Structure 1
Amino acid sequence: MGAAEHLAALLDLALPASCAGCGVVGVGWCADCAAALKVGPVRVRPRTDPGVPCWALAPYAGPARRAVLAAKERGRRDLAAPLGLAMAYGLARLRTPDRVLVVVPAPSRGASARRRGGDPVLRMARAAAGWLPDCRVVPMVRVWWGVRDSVGLTIGERQHNLRGRVSVRRGPLASLPSTVDTEVVVVDDVLTTGATARESVRALRAAGVETSAVLVTCSA
């Protein structure tokens, strides 16, 4: 055993991994919790309609909810791989054959991403794309400065908070393949009111990009 492997083994003994979904010791994401995210995607209808079909891998409860919170709030970067694999299953079921799939992560506030050590939705999207043929991740949607964290906001406050404050980066937009052979799906971790999804779809449409669907890990 090399020095790196020996150190990793010692760390596992001192700080054993636990499943983010159920807490079982010895694995970061167990098979039972992984199975809970492979049932969908299921069609959901948020209170704020983004104008395209919305799909979720699971309800915002149980292992899925705990995994999302662990990735967002507790720095569990290791969850990008299993959550990305679950997202890949969902995308594979939704995509149109023989078309290039473009995955657009929903926008995140810069302060939130920095606090979390990076954007967990972007990490998940990139992990998902790694499992799919003819799939690209294009992080081209952003929120303007001054947008508040949505936690604790009412439906109306969430809508007002984001209305007109989501835009498309021109650089990534220029890298898109031909729209004739491209299918665009917006992905996110949680769908609550649908305000973020609606503004993302609106901003993409205003930039000449039509979205075919929204896919999230959980729907609240």
Structure 2
Amino acid sequence: MARGWTGALVDLVLPVQCLGCGIPEIAWCSACQDAACQLRLHSPDPAPVGFPPTVAAAEYAGDVRLAILGAKDRGRRDLVGPVATLLGWAAQAAVPPAERWLVVPMPSNPAAARARGGDHMVRIGLRATAGSGHLFVEALSAGHSGEATRLGAAGRLADRRRSMRLRRDAAALLAGRDVLLVDDIVTTGSTLATAAALVRSAGARAVRAAVVAATEKEVTRR
């Protein structure tokens, strides 16, 4: 909790300016968001078994990295909207136009969610899909997981499989439906592969994913 409050206090003291171009009184301007967006299909190398087709809006670097960290860990609610915009673009590219999918956010473990004042992917995902016609469903939960930054790809996948679960009331919603998984960052792909396996086990039909950013590096823990 201390880290989140410290970041928020710092942001109150320092003047707000665009992460990219420095324009004052705006967190991240639309021009810089447009410049950062590089929509593409992404798959980790190597990809874990069951990794779903995934569209990433950008690379996890530069302005995008700062925006995600701000919205996720520094209490920068003014960056939730811009980050959600990138995720919304990825979601639009990931599913056919006019189709209605179930949107399932990747869950944070309870301790991380408490430290951040709530689950950041619920905030971002709801903003990203507002008005899309998709149904937003918190179908997954996460228990305590290991120190992900110290695990390799195989260890991270095993950790996710131990800690992630379907919510008790989710299976009935998922059966026979097309599901779009959403997350902020994809690294090894273990989180999305585990989530895809879980929703498929509940009878989901097609499973795809959309993420704000993609990287090959181990950079964060959920």
TM-score after normalising by structure 2: 0.81
Letter in 1 for 2:82: P
Deviations 1:22-60 (A, max 9, x none): 6543211112321134331x1111133333212211111
Q: Which residue of structure 1 lines up, in the alignment, with residue 26 of structure 2?
A: 27
Contact 1:188 1:217 in 2 (8 A): yes
Deviations 1:180-218 (A, max 9, x none): xx4311010000001111111111111112342111111
Label 1:154 to 1:97 Cα distance change in 2 as closer, same or farther (>3 A).
same
Letter in 2 for 1:155: A
> Gaps (5+ residues) in structure 1?
1-11
Distance 1:68 1:21 in 2: 13
Q: Which residue of structure 2 lines up, in the alignment, with residue 200 of structure 1?
A: 195
Q: Which residue of structure 2 lines up, in the alignment, with residue 187 of structure 1?
A: 182
Structure 2 counterpart SS, 1:199: helix
Deviations 1:104-137 (A, max 9, x none): 10121110111011111111110011141x2121
Distance 2:53 2:41 in 1: 7
Distance 1:13 1:76 in 2: 10
CA apart distance, 1:73: 1.7
Contact 2:57 2:90 in 1 (8 A): yes
Q: Which residue of structure 2 lines up, in the alignment, with residue 6 of structure 1?
A: none
CA apart distance, 1:71: 1.3
Label 1:191 to 1:74 Cα distance change in 2 as closer, same or farther (>3 A).
same
Distance 2:169 2:163 in 1: 18
Percent identity of equivalent pairs: 33
Which sits farther off after the overlay, 134-143 or 17-26?
17-26
Letter in 2 for 1:64: V
Out of 132, 151, 154, the position equivalent to 1:153 is 151
Q: Which residue of structure 1 lines up, in the alignment, with residue 60 of structure 2?
A: 60
Structure 2 counterpart SS, 1:118: coil
Q: CA RMSD in A?
A: 2.4
Q: Which residue of structure 2 lines up, in the alignment, with residue 167 of structure 1?
A: 165
Number of paired residues?
A: 203
1:75 has 2:67 as partner:
no
Distance 1:80 1:108 in 2: 16
Distance 1:70 1:166 in 2: 25
CA apart distance, 1:65: 1.0
Contact 1:168 1:203 in 2 (8 A): yes
Distance 1:13 1:192 in 2: 31
CA apart distance, 1:62: 1.1
Q: Which residue of structure 1 lines up, in the alignment, with residue 4 of structure 2?
A: none
Q: Which residue of structure 2 lines up, in the alignment, with residue 104 of structure 1?
A: 104
Q: Which residue of structure 1 lines up, in the alignment, with residue 114 of structure 2?
A: 114
TM-score after normalising by structure 1: 0.82
Letter in 2 for 1:95: V
Q: Which residue of structure 1 lines up, in the alignment, with residue 8 of structure 2?
A: none
CA apart distance, 1:149: 4.1
> Gaps (5+ residues) in structure 2?
1-10, 216-222
Which sits farther off after the overlay, 55-64 or 45-54?
45-54
